Chains A and B, each alone.
Chain A
Amino acid sequence: DVKVTQSSRYLVKRTGEKVFLECVQDMDHENMFWYRQDPGLGLRLIYFSYDVKMKEKGDIPEGYSVSREKKERFSLILESASTNQTSMYLCASRGRQNSYEQYFGPGTRLTVT
């Protein structure tokens, strides 16, 4: 079974803090994704990575950056957290095979006060 883990289930940070959200997958997947989930808006893609050190912006990249130094690990960085970044953050991975399905982690609920 594919396993995607996220470093924290719940996180509370103060406005202006630098925040790191970590995601690790154990299936040697090439593609990894960061989404944020907000009520009524579904999941919106922030960034994704298709290989080590390679990344592409998603639909809502403003205020975020990412890092992928190792294939199994994909980090989301909030350079200076703001209250409008309070949300659920979901990480996902996908292999290169043609199944196209993504495997999700349990999510990190981030609150910025």
Chain B
Amino acid sequence: AQSVTQLGSHVSVSEGALVLLRCNYSSSVPPYLFWYVQYPNQGLQLLLKYTTGATLVKGINGFEAEFKKSETSFHLTKPSAHMSDAAEYFCAVTAAGRRALTFGSGTRLQVQP
């Protein structure tokens, strides 16, 4: 079985500050990991993904995440927050041969002016 834990249901940062959203996963097989973003009243949009290869992955809108196997983590970062980053962020896990994603409970990011 796979699971995802997102630490912090709400995170608030100032505009221009570092964004760090935490994701830890549990998987008995090599994981494939995803971050999705959801803006108000919209569906989910893929930010970035890790399947194999380079452990530091870059996504859209200046976000990046690093796969750390030893820590079972896949934290999402952005060096400088923008007001438009305010949204809900979901971490998800799957594995080779699986069809479905398992999602975390989400982290709502607020960006203060």
Interface residues of A (CB under 8 A from B): 4, 9, 31, 33, 35, 40-45, 48, 50, 56, 58, 90, 92, 94, 98-107
Known contacts A100-B51, A100-B94; A33/B43 CB under 8 A:
no
| 8 Å CB contact of A48 from B32, B51, B96, B99 | B99
Contacts of A102 in B (CB 8 A): 44, 101
Please give me the residue from chain B that is nearest to A50 by CB atom: B99
Known contacts A42-B103, A42-B105; A104/B34 CB under 8 A:
no
Interface of B is mostly: loop
- Is B18 in contact with chain A by the CB < 8 A criterion? no
List 5 contacting pairs A-B, 8 Å CB cutoff, sorted by A. Answer: A48-B99, A100-B32, A100-B94, A103-B46, A107-B42
Determine the interface band of chain B, counting residues with CB < 8 A from chain A. Answer: 20 to 34
Please give me the residue from chain B that is nearest to A109 by CB atom: B41
Distance between A96 CB and nearest chain B CB, rounded to angstroms: 10
Distance between B37 CB and nearest chain A CB, rounded to angstroms: 11
